Structure 1
Amino acid sequence: MQPIKRYEGLLDGAIIFSDILVIPQALEMEVIMNPGPIFPNPISSKEQMEEMINKKISPEELKEKLNYVYEAIKLTTLELQNRIPLFGFVGAPWTLFAYMTSGGGGSGLNASKATSFDTAKNWIQVHPELSARLLEKLAHVCALHLVNQIEAGCQIVQVFDSWAGELSDYDFEHFSLPYLRRVSTLVKEGLRQANIHPVPMVVFAKGANLPHQLQQLASSGYSTVSLDWKVRPAYAIEALGSLSNSIALQGNLDPAVLHTDHQTIKKYVRLMFANQEAGGFLPHLPHITNLGHGITPGVDPEAMRTFLEAVHEESTKIRQS
């Protein structure tokens, strides 16, 4: 709630304060922050992976283990009073798999970033069938977690595949994309069985920016594709072709821009909107303005205010034109 109160009237959505690694924690893997996430005992043998695949966790157990997340959603929903929608989220199966087998990610790697992802990729390359079974299990748990979040009050949910761009095109198609689709399908099935109305779903596969990858994401069962900062919206729209008529796009300012001065932030917001207009996206097609990845540590809160105010200023110009 803190950002909602600080930037009163400037934000069109709230996101629950949680972490993608609650899923491995619910599966009884230890996670510590040092300062980034580290798994002291990652999956390092076929026997350990088999054990994780066979680990039973019922819907009731997941609700109990992650009850603190669902209670936080209920409390936040009450305080929001339907003023703006509340986002729930989950890490994608491949990204969770990468953490669980490599031992860390980002600034908290046990080894170098390259070595870490080599470990995760070696699993899918050397033991593809075994890896696929764990990815399938993770898809089921991820989907159940999203259904629980929606049941608790979230009106929109997002799946974060933060490390999709570490995969080759072949491996993306076999070890990331199928499980993004699986999560979408399972969430819709779970909501239908629980007699809960479906909600919009966003997919973010950072680094999966090839034209056919954007097309695959747009046809994977989500209502919105979130773009990272490395792809121009006009390029994405051209790549999507007729698919752009059936989905929304989200993004995609480079988070690093928020570390600059206020005039530079405004300039980059104008460039972002100009590129969207050049691609024929604005003002005709739905778009959620956002960063192209998470806000980074050390950003001045007033820089975020400048970004939000610039977005409102530019969008007002477009609506009035």
Structure 2
Amino acid sequence: MKKLLFLVFALGSSCFLFAQDETVQALKKDAERTIQKDPNDTTSKTWKTGGFVGINAAQGSLSNWAAGGDKFSLAVNGNLSLYAFHKKNKHTWDNTLDINLGYINTTSLGSRKNDDRIDLLSKYGYAIGPKWNVGALFNFRSQLFKGYAYDDDGNRTFNSNFFSPAYVLLSPGVEWKPNNEFSAFISPATVRWTIVKNDSLAAVGAYGVDPGKHSRTEFGAFASLNYMKEINKMFSYKSRMDLYSNYLKNPKNIDVYWTNMINMKLTKFLTLTYSLDLIYDDDVKLFGENNDSPATQIKSMLGLGFLVKF
């Protein structure tokens, strides 16, 4: 009887171990299995998003320095650049947002803003050919904080603020896009609004608005050239040039808005950044002896700081 019980126990144990071994093998096989995509599943990624945030800082101090200069200086500049590109079938929708803000403090000049810009660009296109789209473009430009003009004695005069001015542009047109790096948008019929929300600036007719009014409407031709290239793992370049001619007043005086930025990656987060901006607007009369004439505005900045892409 004991032998029979032992035989039954041995057979049961063998069956249990055999079943357990099969279970383990099956689990192992499932874990190592490669899942193949269903060929009928044609879902593709339609959004491409990303951008970068950068902060550049420079500080200097002097003590008993024979060559002269400010005893203390501090400059901090930050920029945020975002993009969201959508493409599905023949439809494209490109969106970019750039925000720049800079601050400088020196012993002789005190604290001043040296950069302030908001720039939102949204562009829709419908493909009518391999390299051609028809669509519309929307652009909004302004700044965040108050701005001042300074004379040689350091006296300041208030001349700008949020929505003073602000430029809103709506433009139907055609786009030529030969590759993913360059695009040219052209419109012969574009509406542009110049907004001056601040009462004191509107009262003197700043930025081309009629004195006492807060906005001005223009109708003209518009062109926008955009180029964005990652040259290699270290260098990237981004440029945009907007040209506008107002049919209703002095159409030969073309407004120019041109921004450029070069990033040189030194380490994973440390980056050397150079930006060059050029603006000419015939209606911005902040220059000359009596602040009554337009002039080319140029801003050049070189900074070393942190840049994080995402």
TM over 0.5: no
TM score, norm. by length of structure 2: 0.28
TM score, norm. by length of structure 1: 0.27
* Greater gyration radius: 2
Higher helix share: 1
